[in-house]
Structure 1
Amino acid sequence: MLDETVFRSDDVPAAERFDYWAELLGRTHAPMELRSDHADDFRACQRVVDLGAVTVWSATYLPLVFRRTPKLIRQSDPEAYHLALVVRGTGAGVWAHRETEYQPYDLFLNSSSLPADVHSSGAPVTTVALELPKTMVSLPRDVTRRIVGVPVSGREGMGALLARFLTHITDDTTSYQPADGPRLGAVLADLTAALFAHLLEAGDCLPPETHRQTLILRIQAFIREHLHDPQLTPAAIAAAHHISTSYLHRLFRDEDATVAAWVRRLRLEAAHRELTDPALQAVPIHAIATRWGFPRATDFSRAYRAAYGTTPREQRHQALRSQE
C-alpha cells in the first residue's frame, strides 16, 4: 500500500474544523486565505498519497473561496505546479492575466507562485489533485502564465490521459507497494510535461522561445520514455524530433547538463531506485545496469560511484541493512 494520510472533519471538534482544514491545505499545497459560508459547521475529508517528490490527493468539501495573495507568496512559496480534476461541483479561477470557469471533469492548472482567487461551488465539491515541484517540469515564468488557468478537458486528449491516471491511483492504493510511489510520481510528472507541451503547441503565434521550451519538454519526455533503449543516443533523439544533432545540443546548452549527461543521470537515478528497492534484491546488479543502459559493469560502477559516492553493491547492502 502507498504511504497516505487521511483527514476527516468529523475527527475534529466542530469549532476547530475550518481552521484545521486551512492548516492542512497549507501543508499539502501552500498557505492560503480561506472563506466559507459553512465555516461554523465545516465538513471535509481528504486522502493525501505520497509519491516521492509528487503528492496526489482526493478531497470532498463544502464550497470555499481560496485566496493566494502576493504577501503569502513572499512568505512561503513551495515553487510547485498544482493540477486538480473537478469531479463534482463547479468553480472559477481568477488571476491577473485570466479568468476561467470550471465544470465537472475539467482540469484546473495553477502555480504556487501566482496570486489567485479560486471559488468552488456545489454541495459538496470533490476534486482529485496533484502537486509537483516546478523543477520536474521546468518552464520560464512568462511561459507558466500561458498555461495557468487554461481550460483543459479531462474527458479527451492529453487531459483525459492525465485525469484517468490520477483517478486510478487515488481510487485504490492497496495494490501498490510503498516503493512504487516514486515511480508513479515520475509517470505523473511525464504526463504533466506532455500536457504542458500540448497546450503550448496549441497556442496561437507563440514566440520562438516558447516553441523552443515546448520542444525541450517533448524531447525530455521522449528520453524518459526510451531510457531502456541502448540506442538512445543524441543522434537518435535528434532524428526522432526531425532536428539536427547540433541543434539538439544547442537546445540543451541552457539546461543543467548536456544531452548525454542528462540521459546518463536519468539512467543512474532509475538504477538507484531499483538497487534500493527491497522487492528487487534478488535481481542481479548487472541485470539492473544493463536494463538502464550500462552493459559494461565497470562503466556502471564508475558512473554510479561518481554520482552517489559509493559502489552499486555497497548501496544495495546499505539499503538492505536499513530494512532490518
Structure 2
Amino acid sequence: MWSVVSTGAVPAGERFDWYSDIVSREVMPAALSSERPAEFQGEAAVLDLGDIRASRFSLSPLRSRRTAAMIRRGDPEQYQLALLRKGATSLSQHRNECTIGAGDLMLWDTSRPSYNQMPAAGGQVQATILLLPRNIMPLRTQRLDQVLARRIPGDRGMAAILAAFMTSLEDHGAECTPEELRRLGTVAVDLATACLAQHLDTEDQLPAEVRTQALVQRIHTFIEHNLGDPELNPSAVAAHHHISVRTLHQLFHDQGESVRARIRRRRLEQCRSDLADPGLRARHVSAIAARWGFSGSVVFSRSFREAYGLSPTEFRALCVPEVLEVVEAWGWRGRPVRRRPVPVRGRRVEGSS
C-alpha cells in the first residue's frame, strides 16, 4: 500500500514550509524554494518493495539544492531513478546537466551535491522514482557517474520497458501482496540496471541473472504489443529475440505458465475487456476475437468458456448494467460458475452464479 502525505489538509499559507520540512526530515536534507509559495500544492507517496522503495510525487514547480554540508547531515545513500510523467525539470550533478520532459528518465546520486529546478512555466510536475540503495547496484560507481544528470529517452530500448514497468507499478502496485511487491522490487533493480547499462553500452558486463530477467521482460513486452497477430507463437517470439525455442521455454520455466499459455491468457483477457466495454457492444464477437489474434470463433468460444465458465455471448449479456447489479450481488468475479437464468425486466437471460 502506498503511504501518502499531502498538503491538502494544510492551510494554504503554510503548505510550502510544511512540505519543505517533511522532505528534509523524512527524505533527506535539502533547501527548497518556490516562486509562488502561497500557491504551492504537493503530494508524495512511498511503496515498500523489499530491498528498495518506489515513490511518486505531484507538486507545483520548485527549486531544490543539496550541498555537501546537507549530505553530511543526512544521506540515504541511494541512486534515485526518476520517470517524469508530467511537466519538465532540469538537474545538475557531478559536472553534468540535463533537462527532461514527460516520458524521459534521469538518474541522480543522493551522496553528491545537486541542483534541481522545475520551471514555473512547465506547470504541475509528476514523477515516479525508484529509490535504489547504492550497495545493491551491480554497476560500478565510476560507470554510473557517467550517466548522472543525463537525459535517458524513455521511448525506446530498455528505457521504454523500464518506463512501462514503473508506470504499471504506480497504477497497480497497491493491488499487490507484500510478497508480490518484494518480487517486483527484484524486477525493478534488474530492469533499472539493464537500462543504465544499455545507456552506458555495458550490457555485456551485467551479471547473467540480470541479463536473463531483462530478456524475459523484453519478451513480455513483445507479446503484449503483438497479441493481435494470429501468427504470434513460441517460434515467432524466439525468432524475434534471436534465441532458440528451447531456450525460450527454459526462460519461462519459472514463470508459472508456458509461452503459449501466456499468449492465450492475455488474448482472452483483452477479449473479455472488449466484451465488457459498452462502447463496443455493436462489434461482433468474432471481430473481437480476430482483433486479439484468435484464428476462428469456434476456437475462441471454446477457450473463453474453459477460462471463464460461460460463452462470450453470455458474458457480454451479463455486462448489461442491470444484469451486473444482480451478478455483483451474487459475488461473481469471473471464476467458472454454475449457469442459471438471470431475470432482467421480465425476461430471462442466460447468466451465471
Q: CA deviation at 1:51?
A: 1.1
Q: Is the 8 A contact 1:29 1:131 kept in 2?
A: no
Instruction: Give the corresponding residue for 2:155.
Output: 155
Query: d(CA) in 2 for partners of 1:141 and 1:111?
Result: 10
Q: Is the 8 A contact 1:8 1:45 kept in 2?
A: yes
Matched, 1:196 2:185: no
Instruction: Give CA-to-partner distance per residue, 1:218-242, whole Å, 9 cap, x none.
Output: 435147679xxxxxxxxxxxxxxxx
Q: Is the 8 A contact 1:66 1:117 kept in 2?
A: yes
RMSD over aligned Cα, in angstroms? 2.4
Q: CA deviation at 1:19?
A: 2.6
Instruction: Give the corresponding residue for 1:305.
Output: none
Q: CA deviation at 1:127?
A: 1.0
Instruction: Give the corresponding residue for 2:181.
Output: 181
| 3-state secondary structure, aligned to 2:195 | helix
Q: 1:225 to 1:41 in 2, by over 3 A?
A: closer
| 3-state secondary structure, aligned to 1:152 | coil
Query: d(CA) in 2 for partners of 1:25 and 1:138?
Result: 28
Instruction: Give the corresponding residue for 2:137.
Output: 137
Matched, 1:61 2:59: yes
Query: d(CA) in 2 for partners of 1:22 and 1:6?
Result: 15
Instruction: Give CA-to-partner distance per residue, 1:138-196, whole Å, 9 cap, x none.
Output: 44332221121221111111111111101101113343112222111111011111112
Question: What letter is aligned with 1:124?
Answer: Q
Instruction: Give the corresponding residue for 1:298.
Output: none
Question: What letter is aligned with 2:77?
Answer: E
Task: State how 1:208-219 maps to structure 2 within 5 Å.
Answer: 215-219=204-208
Instruction: Give the corresponding residue for 2:39.
Output: 41
Matched, 1:112 2:101: no
Q: 1:100 to 1:225 in 2, by over 3 A?
A: closer
Structure 2: gaps of 5 or more residues = 216-353
Q: Say how many residue pairs are matched.
A: 215
Query: d(CA) in 1 for partners of 2:189 and 2:175?
Result: 21
Q: Is the 8 A contact 2:53 2:132 kept in 1?
A: yes
Task: State how 1:304-319 maps to structure 2 within 5 Å.
Answer: none
Query: d(CA) in 2 for partners of 1:5 and 1:27?
Result: 16
Q: 1:36 to 1:7 in 2, by over 3 A?
A: same
Instruction: Give the corresponding residue for 1:146.
Output: 146
Q: Is the 8 A contact 1:86 1:127 kept in 2?
A: yes
Query: d(CA) in 2 for partners of 1:47 and 1:124?
Result: 16
Question: What letter is aligned with 2:56?
Answer: S
- Out of 96, 99, 108, the position equivalent to 2:97 is 99
Higher relative contact order (CA 8 A, sep 6+): 1
Q: Is the 8 A contact 1:60 1:125 kept in 2?
A: yes
Instruction: Give the corresponding residue for 2:247.
Output: none
Question: What letter is aligned with 2:70?
Answer: L
Query: d(CA) in 2 for partners of 1:197 and 1:22?
Result: 34
Question: What letter is aligned with 2:200?
Answer: L
Matched, 1:88 2:94: no
Q: 1:42 to 1:180 in 2, by over 3 A?
A: same
Q: Is the 8 A contact 1:94 1:117 kept in 2?
A: yes
Structure 1: gaps of 5 or more residues = 202-210, 227-324
Matched-pair identity in % = 30
In our comparison, the structure showing a higher alpha carbon Rg is 2
Query: d(CA) in 2 for partners of 1:190 and 1:166?
Result: 13
Query: d(CA) in 1 for partners of 2:25 and 2:52?
Result: 14
Q: Is the 8 A contact 2:32 2:62 kept in 1?
A: yes
Instruction: Give CA-to-partner distance per residue, 1:80-120, whole Å, 9 cap, x none.
Output: 11011111111111124111111111102111111111111
Q: Is the 8 A contact 1:194 1:218 kept in 2?
A: no
Q: Is the 8 A contact 2:48 2:54 kept in 1?
A: yes
Q: Is the 8 A contact 2:194 2:210 kept in 1?
A: yes
Q: Is the 8 A contact 2:7 2:43 kept in 1?
A: yes
Instruction: Give the corresponding residue for 1:70.
Output: 68
Q: Is the 8 A contact 1:106 1:151 kept in 2?
A: yes
Query: d(CA) in 2 for partners of 1:29 and 1:182?
Result: 21
Q: CA deviation at 1:29?
A: 4.1
Q: 1:130 to 1:37 in 2, by over 3 A?
A: same
- Out of 183, 206, 210, the position equivalent to 1:221 is 210
Q: 1:144 to 1:171 in 2, by over 3 A?
A: same
Q: CA deviation at 1:34?
A: 0.5
Q: CA deviation at 1:30?
A: 2.5
Query: d(CA) in 1 for partners of 2:172 and 2:208?
Result: 32
Q: TM-score, normalised by structure 1?
A: 0.61
Q: Is the 8 A contact 1:97 1:145 kept in 2?
A: no
